[in-house]
Amino acid sequence: MENIKLLNHSDTSFIEHEVIGIPFIQSVDVSTDKPFIQANTVEISLDELSEHHIIPVFIMDNEPVISHHDFIKVTNEVVEDIYGHETILSPNIRLSHPIKGRIPDAKLKPANELLDHEKTLYYERMAFIIEIPTIYDEIDGNRLSLTIGGVKAYSLDNLYKKKGADEHFKVFIGFKNQVCTNLCVWTDGYMADLKVNSIGQLKGCIRTLIERYNPNYHLRQMEQLTKYSLTELQFATLIGKCRMFQHLPNNKKGEIPSMLLGDSQVGMICKDFYRDSSFCKNENGTINLWRLYNLFTGANKSTYIDNFLDRSVNAYHFIEQIRFALQNKVYNWYLN
């Protein structure tokens, strides 16, 4: 594999390149115009998040938590500091689990009579990505661009304490598949339970993650997936075992590589094996592991925000276990 290619443009109002031979022009305004996660999420701009959503506080001293807006802003500052010579798209933000309220003066009003200034709102859970499209490579004809992002769920924080208690974040750096907006995340680019009590600590941890991440190594490992394929019978066995895994006794589960996707996601993988326009099986019924991996990450888009990144990482390591078994001709419970 070649090293990461760098595109340099004097005009940053657009990026022009070819994806599988088709000219493509992408606005730099937002990191993808398609949802990178669906489930029960809604999209929002950073300005709206900052100007119209209230910020929860620690109950014992009424001090504010590190808000969703703060998290995105500090991540963006680190990205701009490290990759300032590249094109950096504005964050794409998805929210879920709205917490609605009203100001005290409107406490007796019927809901349908509330004025906008009398309503309060914040969302308990948030996920975002920041894309750098000028750092990219291709795998199996799919263009992948470097992407940084994170997840924040206030439900993980103990808001009954004072300011200074640990606040929880999830942060990642990896790649986004331009064909389908699937995120490619693995352990070396992921902090699954980052606990900090200040914005300064948060910023330092994000910087450390980005600086330690090796994008070329990640790309080389993913490219290996294109070299191995499953037959239709092997795929059918794998899908059946995936459904069985959730119902195994706990002692048996401990002996088998975990698979975190639920039954609904496994059903989507099975359907897309036949129907997905980009990653379906070949005419002879085989499917390479890169395509299978993208069926998994595509199905993961229907996962709720709080489990989204954990399942993203699990999807890669699950498929990597399958590759290892095929390469070394060793036993794998999902294939045998």
Which strand (E) or helix (H) includes residue 287? strand 287-288
> Which residues, 6+ apart, have CB-to-CB distance to 24 below 8 Å?
16, 17, 18, 178
Pairing of β 183-184 and β 92-102: unpaired
d(CA 93, CA 73): 12
C-alpha to C-alpha distances, 204 to 20, 147, 192, nearest whole angstrom: 38, 18, 16
Over residues 217-232, the pLDDT tens digits come to 999 999 999 999 999 9
Residues of the chain with pLDDT under 50: 1-28
91, 129 Cβ separation under 8 angstroms: yes
Give the model's pLDDT for residue 105.
86
d(CA 133, CA 104): 46
Give the model's pLDDT for residue 39.
82
Give the model's pLDDT for residue 188.
96
Give the model's pLDDT for residue 32.
61
Give the model's pLDDT for residue 5.
47
Record the tokens describing residue 15, joined without a space: 């990026």
Q: Which three-class secondary structure state does DSSP give residue 283?
A: coil
Give the model's pLDDT for residue 104.
87
Over residues 160-176, the pLDDT tens digits come to 899 988 999 999 999 99
d(CA 311, CA 301): 10
> Which residues, 6+ apart, have CB-to-CB distance to 157 below 8 Å?
65, 165, 166, 167, 168
- Mean pLDDT of the chain, nearest integer: 90
Give the model's pLDDT for residue 27.
38
* Dihedral sign of CA atoms 239, 193, 153, 176 in order: negative
Give the model's pLDDT for residue 12.
33
- The pTM score is 0.88
d(CA 321, CA 133): 30
